[in-house]
Homo-oligomer: A and B are copies of this chain.
Amino acid sequence: MSIDGQLPPKARLLRAAAELLANSGGSAVSTRQITQLAGVTAPTLYHHFGDKEGLFDAVVAAGFDEYVAGERDFAPSGQPLEDIRRMWDNHVQFGLKQPELYLVMFGNIRPESRPAIVADAEALMEEMLNKAAVSGQLNVPPKEAARSILAANVGVTLMLIAEKVPERNLELSAMTRDAMIFAVSTEQARDNGSVDSGKSSVVVAAIALNAALQASHSDQLSSSELKLFLEWLHRISNSSTS
């Protein structure tokens, strides 16, 4: 069993590494396995990729393209925060579908050395969050929101990967996802555009306070209090529609 196909050795190495990584079942993958499956010898690997990690980086880059493609396939961007939710789910699905690859990408943490891939994923999410921000749907800077959401997203995915398949409960993901998105979003983001007229003075005042709070970043309340406060405001603001 070898990868022949008359591809150039570089591509064969990439394919062999990806295949072994995907089927390794958690155990380590050696350069000898890879080169044997690719039908080349060791120096070829090091000529093209520098070292083992370079090869894995290249595999990860291809995997990341797939990841990004998945992330971008969504995003017809009616609702940026809805797109963020789909990005989250796509992230989790990617991790569960290719756990080995995912672990190389996001699970290979070393102190003081941040994998470039994480920064890329962060930038991707920040880009999307920027759209939400310009629509006034974010109450924290997009960069920090992206870092926070991605951290939780990775944490949840790692935990799901570590669990045995039959015990995996995607509710964990959904719950954490909604919590994070809710935390960074303003209240109007949870609104699907129900526009109403003939509001009472309470509603008007609530909307005014709402806007003022969002414009001025009141720090009179803690951020978590503010979330709850705004949720109530939202309830009051929508009271005329119910």
Contact = CB atoms under 8 A, between A and B. Distances in A.
A225 interface: yes
Given A114-B164, A224-B178, A218 B232 contact: no
A233 B111 CA distance: 44
Contacts of A6: none
Contacts of A26: 110-113
Contacts of A1: none
Given A156-B155, A180-B176, A205 B209 contact: yes
Contacts of A110: 26, 103, 162
Given A153-B155, A197-B219, A220-B196, A183 B172 contact: no
**In which size bucket is the chain A interface?**
35 or more
A190 B155 contact: no
Nearest to A150: B159
Contacts of A111: 25-26, 99-100, 103, 161-162
B180 A151 contact: no
Interface string A141-177: 0001001101111111011011111000101100110
Contact of A216 (B154, B164, B184, B201): B201
A136 interface: no
A171 to B, nearest CB: 7
17 contacts: A109-B162, A113-B162, A148-B179, A150-B159, A151-B152, A151-B156, A175-B183, A182-B183, A193-B222, A193-B225, A196-B219, A196-B220, A197-B219, A199-B212, A200-B212, A202-B212, A221-B232
Nearest 4 A/B pairs, CB to CB: A155-B155, A179-B183, A193-B222, A205-B209
Interface of A: 25-26, 99-100, 103, 107, 109-115, 118, 140, 144, 147-148, 150-156, 158-159, 161-165, 169, 171-172, 175-176, 178-184, 187, 190, 193-202, 204-206, 208-213, 215-225, 227-229, 232, 235-236, 239
